[in-house]
């Protein structure tokens, strides 16, 4: 019988946040796969646990994943942990979890600390729904696209950022979402925990003069109103023309437009009937 892969959430900083269940799992498993073995060794020492400690991080090669799967197939349990918070959420672990599931290995989540939930809970913004973007690219079209998406989002948006790049992130957000508020959560649950909330422009100015240290989570307040849906009329018209030229009936074209572009049947019918 195969072992179990436990996905264990660990404290963001305060060791008191480790759940009793997580502590019991880390004491019981024979193997722990850790993003940073030095950091995890400190936690294990605190718990009085001495499992075999193997590194598993974003740059681990396929051989390490195979080795962990072999351990599981041998019947030994493995606990997957990241440096802090919940593994596989903007942290290593997704590939290992997917491979374990594909191999028929049982995967058990051990929930606990999450920087996303922690920052949202204390930001003071409406957060019954939110968008999580994690770390956005440092530059390029994908960065611009994601920041524009964040600016238009009606719900709160959560991002992660490294200290040297925080000012650039806040300044870029201020360009696409002027006068919007954000919360910068720094060193969550640690001795120097700090929340700073205000307009993006003010936050960018503050952190340009006071370079931050430590782990950072940014919450952008949502617009509060749904973003206008893009006008897909021209796309739909061009797509319909192609389908008609392929010999499809107008009824079939209406159905396909409705299914693929989300148009109502009435709008799709009207558009198709207007075509020559």
19 in a structural domain:
yes
Q: What pLDDT does residue 228 have?
A: 64
From 175, 190, 220, give the residue that closes a domain.
Answer: 220
Q: What is the number of domains present in the chain?
A: 3
| DSSP state for residue 102 in the 8-state scheme | H
Let me know: does 30 contact 132? Beta carbons within 8 Å.
no
Let me know: does 122 contact 150? Beta carbons within 8 Å.
no
Angle at 124 between CA 119 and CA 219, to 5 degrees: 45
Distance CA 15, CA 6 (A): 19
> How many CB atoms are located within 10 Å of the residue 237 CB?
14
- 31-34 β-sheet, strand order: 52-55, 31-34, 78-81, 4-8, 106-110
227 in a structural domain:
no
150 in a structural domain:
yes
3-20 burial, b if ≥16 CB within 10 A, otherwise e? Answer: bbbbbbbbbbbeeebbbe
Containing 4, the helix (H) or strand (E) segment is strand 4-8
Do 105 and 10 share a structural domain? yes
The boundaries of the domain holding residue 263 are: 233-274
Strand 156-161, strand 216-220: pairing: antiparallel
Phi, psi of 36 (to 5 degrees): -135, 105
Do 173 and 90 share a structural domain? no
From 198, 220, 242, give the residue that closes a domain.
Answer: 220
Low-confidence ranges of the chain (pLDDT < 70): 227-231
Phi, psi of 271 (to 5 degrees): -65, -45
Do 83 and 63 share a structural domain? yes
Do 213 and 128 share a structural domain? yes
Do 85 and 56 share a structural domain? yes
Q: Hey, what are 244's tokens?
A: 């008609």
Distance CA 232, CA 237 (A): 9
Do 138 and 215 share a structural domain? yes
pTM of the model: 0.80
Q: Say which CATH number the domain at 106 has.
A: 3.40.1010.10
Do 123 and 80 share a structural domain? no
Q: Say which CATH number the domain at 175 has.
A: 3.30.950.10
Q: What pLDDT does residue 140 have?
A: 92
Q: What is the pLDDT of residues 106-151, one digit of tens each?
A: 999 999 999 999 999 999 999 999 999 999 999 999 999 999 999 9
225 in a structural domain:
no
Q: What pLDDT does residue 267 have?
A: 87
Do 173 and 142 share a structural domain? yes
From 196, 220, 244, give the residue that closes a domain.
Answer: 220
Do 209 and 120 share a structural domain? yes
Q: What is the pLDDT of residues 17-42, one digit of tens each?
A: 999 999 999 999 999 999 999 999 99
């Amino acid at each position: 019988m195969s072992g179990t892969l436990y996905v264990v959430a660990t404290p963001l900083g305060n060791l008191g946040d480790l759940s009793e269940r997580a502590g019991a799992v880390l004491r019981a498993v024979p193997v722990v796969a850790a993003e940073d073995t030095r950091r995890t060794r400190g936690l294990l020492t605190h718990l009085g646990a001495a499992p075999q400690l193997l590194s598993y991080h974003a740059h681990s090669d396929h051989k390490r994943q195979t080795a962990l799967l072999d351990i599981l197939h041998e019947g030994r349990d493995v606990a997957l942990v990241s440096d802090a918070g919940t593994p596989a959420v903007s942290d290593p672990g997704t590939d290992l979890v997917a491979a374990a599931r594909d191999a028929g290995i049982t995967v058990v989540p051990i929930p606990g600390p999450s920087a996303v939930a922690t920052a949202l809970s204390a930001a003071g913004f409406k957060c019954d729904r939110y968008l999580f973007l994690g770390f956005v690219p440092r530059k390029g079209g994908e960065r611009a696209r994601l920041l524009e998406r964040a600016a238009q989002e009606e719900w709160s948006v959560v991002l992660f950022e490294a200290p040297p790049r925080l000012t650039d992130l806040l300044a870029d957000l201020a360009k696409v979402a002027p006068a919007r508020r954000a919360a910068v959560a720094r060193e969550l649950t640690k001795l120097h925990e700090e929340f700073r909330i205000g307009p993006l422009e003010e936050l960018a100015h503050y952190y340009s003069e006071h370079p931050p240290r430590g782990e950072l989570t940014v919450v952008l307040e949502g617009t509060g109103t749904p973003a206008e849906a893009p006008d897909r009329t021209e796309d739909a018209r061009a797509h319909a023309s192609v389908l008609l030229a392929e010999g499809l009936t107008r009824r079939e074209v209406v159905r396909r437009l409705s299914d693929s572009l989300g148009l109502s049947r009435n709008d799709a019918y009207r558009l198709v009937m207007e075509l020559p």
